[in-house]
Structure 1
Amino acid sequence: MVAHTQAGQSKFLGVQIGSFGLFGALVLSFALAITAFFATCFVAIFGILIYNGAGHHVDFADSYQYIALPVGLAVLAVSLIVLVSLWLRTKFSNH
């Protein structure tokens, strides 16, 4: 069974990416950024926990400030650029 899409529509995991509106693209961008922030923070906290268990002393707040926040902002920037550009391409190609 093959799903047919319109010409120029991008698909990712079976979902037409270009079919999102501006609000959907913004919501998805922020959802991806929040998910990346919390996943990175989770891994960073456990990494610092293991590092501190080896006799070092690193503050756990560093996982938020220096690891998770830059990753979350980078994911936000990249996802905003990609999803909004796909929205713009779809919007201007239909008119």
Structure 2
Amino acid sequence: MTQTSQDGTLNGTLTAPRAFGSGYLFGVPLGDLGLFATLLMSFAVGFAAFFAATFVAIVVLLFDKAITGRMPDFTITYKFVGLPAGIVVLALTLAYLGTLWIKRKLRKG
């Protein structure tokens, strides 16, 4: 039977989940992603933000139609809500994950 010490190590190896500062987010090792995985994750989160923001905007316009009785222009949801939200989230995730990838490359290099 093995014993774990107070600091979360087992025979010198870390057994407890890592925190924010070490490139882990909710236990996911974001700091260990390669370049392709970093780009893939960033674009996936950007697309998800685009679709989520567009969905919320469509629902808001549907409520507006139900209350006012006039037909809104639903292209507003894509142009002025979904696209800016997707671009902002894409830029933020590329910056964050790209920084983690660059730090990892500089540490190894």
TM over 0.5: yes
Give structure 1 stretches of 5+ with no counterpart: none
Q: Give the drift of 1:46.
A: 0.4
Q: Give the drift of 1:9.
A: 3.1
Letter of the aligned partner of 1:72 in structure 2?
Answer: G
| Distance in 1, Cα, partners of 2:101 & 2:55 | 32
| Distance in 1, Cα, partners of 2:83 & 2:51 | 9
- Asked which structure has the greater RCO (Cα within 8 Å, sep 6+), the reply is 1
Q: 1:76 aligns with which of 90, 98, 102?
A: 90
Q: 1:18 aligns with which of 12, 31, 38?
A: 31
* Partner SS for 1:3: coil
Identity %: 38
TM-score, length-scaled by structure 1: 0.89
Q: Give the drift of 1:16.
A: 1.2
Give structure 2 stretches of 5+ with no counterpart: 1-7, 9-14
When Rg is computed on C-alpha atoms for both structures, the one with the higher figure is 2
Q: Give the drift of 1:37.
A: 0.5
CA RMSD of aligned residues (A): 1.7
| Distance in 2, Cα, partners of 1:36 & 1:10 | 22
- What residue is the counterpart of 1:28 in the other structure? 41
Alpha-carbon displacement from aligned partner over 1:37-80 (angstroms, at most 9, x marks no partner): 01111111000000111114420110000001000000011111
Written as runs of structure 1 = structure 2, the 5 A alignment for 1:1-95 is 2-3=15-16, 9-55=22-68, 56-95=70-109
* Large movers: runs of 4+ above 6 Å: none
TM-score, length-scaled by structure 2: 0.78
Conservation of the 8 A alpha-carbon contact between 1:48 and 1:60: yes
The number of residues matched between the two structures is 93
